[in-house]
Each structure stands twice: as C-alpha cells, then as structure tokens.
Structure 1
C-alpha cells in the first residue's frame, strides 16, 4: 500500500516549468577561441616590457570600439589611461582574459565596452548582464575597491535591427549598477542617436558599424566626468 501511495503522489506532482530567460542566465565562461586574441595578449605583454605602464592607470578594455579609440590618451590629459581593447571580443572574453587586460596593472579604474558583439552573436540581454556581473566579480576578487564602468552598447546603422535587444541589455546593466557601489553605467549610446531614435549615419565610418572621430569626441565628453584622476 505504501508503494502505491508513493507512485500516486509522484504521478500528481506538478511538472517542472522551463526556466525563464532571467533564470537561465549563465556565468559559464566559454569564450570563442580566436588566435588573434592570443597575439593581442602577447602584444600587450611586449608593450608592457618595452614601456612599463603605471600600476594605477585607468584601463579601457573590451571590443573594437575601444581598440580603435586611437586618441584615448590625448582625449584625457592628466589621466594615465591604457588601451587594452581586443577586437571582436564579447563581455565573457574580457572575463577570461581579465589578468592580461586589467588585473596585471593594478588599475585604479577599469572601463569596458562590450555587449555589441554578444548581441550580434545571439546572446540575450540577460546573458550580457550576467557576463558583466562575472566581470565585476572577477576584478573585485583581487581588487575589492577597484572602480568599474560599463560603456553602454552603442547603436549602429549596420545593426539597426538589433537596437531593441541592445537597449534591453543596456537597461538591465544600468538597473543593476544602480544597486552596486563603485560600478558605473556610462551612457555613450544616447548621444549617437538622432531625434527619431535612430543611429546617426554621420558618426560612423564606411562600414556603418565603427565610430569616426566625431563620435569619439562625443564619447570623450560623456566619459570624462567618470574618470578617477
């Protein structure tokens, strides 16, 4: 009789429901292997050996929007900035390479631009947030007081169909940073939009994805107040 009761209970138990998008967020680090990034890390190490950077620099890292910011040092005079962007990367790649692009420098502050390629590769806004949280956790595990900034995912004409997901990811990251000490959401996305809410064509180079000098000038104005001097 006891066995019969147990079988009956099992048959009437509610089925497990599929996880929601938020519940399914992953912190598993599985960055795409890219030999170019190995070369980038070797190049960073060579540059460090030739010209040792200050240990209290403001480090910029992330994808090509940072890598291609050629005027970074000139844009922030008086601030020891270091460009450690590596093109094509996603947020989780910066977690994977956190030692090479950030922690080795014992920075006073780290700013990351990533999420653009993540959305393009099919990752969800919730996963972008989760990966950024993992990035913060990774840095804070060795530098508990380091200040961290997230540069908002930029809109671009070539990825206009992704704009709703980009904005959803930005919203999730912004809301989370508002609950955290020493973590900033830096809105470099809004200045790139026109009055109708579409990306301004005049702020992009020929590929309609990457920024031109005028766009970086806008970014400079937005980012400057957040930098620790």
Structure 2
C-alpha cells in the first residue's frame, strides 16, 4: 500500500499544483488552506487527521502569522501543538516542516524568519525533517525575484517546479 502524504498549511502549499510530483510513489492529499495561521492548524489539524490519517505530513505555515504580528513564541508553540496532535492521533506519522520563506514582502523580517526557522528546526522530533525552503528562494542573501508574483509573497509556477525538484530527493530519502 502507498504511504499517504498529507499536505497542510497556508496558501504557499495550497497553490502547490505540482505537489503530487514531490512524492510520486505516495498518495498525496493537499488540504492546505490559503490565509491560515498556525493557530488555525493547532485548532483544526485533528479533524483533518481524522479524515486523512497520514504516514507523513508536509507543513508550511507561519508566514501569515508574521503579517499578523503574532509573537514568535506563539508561532513556535502552535507548530508544537500541531506536532503533538499528530503524535497523539497518528503516532507512527512523521512531520516535514518547510521553513518560512524569506519573500520580498517579508523584507525587514528576514532575521526573524531565520530565528523562527532555526528554533522550529532544532526542536523537531527524532525522525522528523526540516526542509530549508530558503535554499531555493533566497540562495545568496536575497530572494530570487523571478520566483515571486507581483505581491512579493506568493510563488510563480517556476518557483513551485524548483521547490519540487529540491524537495523530491530529500523526501524520497526520508520517507523510504
């Protein structure tokens, strides 16, 4: 039976049209919802897990929290609440957290993003995976403009292809 990969989070994942290609040997279910913040997922992830019990969860969230000026400690606590919910409901499932992207819209918050990503990545459970999204979108100290649409936040089709190409081997090695 194919492993189930559940994709949750905000619009960056909701709009990932080629996400099926990131884990081609798996059943991939995208339940991401644009505009969501980490509090939403801390409160609603349990219901999604009941409907779609996964083997692996891919999670991207936190960017909208920054826009709403949610304190860092709350963002981190909400991510850990999601991890605890996953552990409680589907103990064998693992989490891959994709780091918050240092998009042009987030200028002035890039150091905060680095700090948040480091804190979340350092505290992942054994067997979980941190995926450094900024290796794709922010490779040399600045965001690659061609990967962002006019709003400076959301990604182009080429950006999603690059993210897929970057994440596929990481996930393939980790899932199997």
State the TM-score, normalized to the length of structure 2: 0.90
Cα drift, residue 147 of structure 1: 0.6
When Rg is computed on C-alpha atoms for both structures, the one with the higher figure is: 1
Aligned residue for 1:161, secondary structure, equals coil
Match of 1:219 among 143, 158, 163: 163
User: Which runs of no fewer than 5 residues in structure 2 stay unpaired?
Assistant: none
Match of 1:132 among 69, 74, 79: 79
Cα drift, residue 207 of structure 1: 1.5
Cα drift, residue 125 of structure 1: 2.4
The answer (yes or no) to whether the contact 2:102–2:137 under 8 Å persists in 1 is yes
Cα drift, residue 107 of structure 1: 0.6
| 1:199 matches 2:143 | yes
Alpha-carbon distance in structure 2 between the residues aligned to 1:99 and 1:121: 24
Indicate how the Cα distance of structure 1 residues 184 and 75 shifts in structure 2: closer, same or farther if over 3 A, else same: closer
Q: Map Cα deviations across residues 124-144 of structure 1 (whole Å, 9 max, x no partner).
A: 222222111110101111111
Aligned to 2:32: 85
State the TM-score, normalized to the length of structure 1: 0.70
Poorly superposed stretches of 4+, deviation over 3 Å: none
**Pairing of 1:26-175 with structure 2 (within 5 A):** 56-175=3-122
The answer (yes or no) to whether the contact 1:125–1:172 under 8 Å persists in 2 is no
The answer (yes or no) to whether the contact 2:104–2:153 under 8 Å persists in 1 is yes
Cα drift, residue 187 of structure 1: 0.7
The answer (yes or no) to whether the contact 2:22–2:167 under 8 Å persists in 1 is no
Indicate how the Cα distance of structure 1 residues 58 and 134 shifts in structure 2: closer, same or farther if over 3 A, else same: same
The answer (yes or no) to whether the contact 2:5–2:55 under 8 Å persists in 1 is yes
Q: CA RMSD in A?
A: 1.8
Aligned to 2:134: 189
Q: How many residues align?
A: 173
User: Which runs of no fewer than 5 residues in structure 1 stay unpaired?
Assistant: 1-53
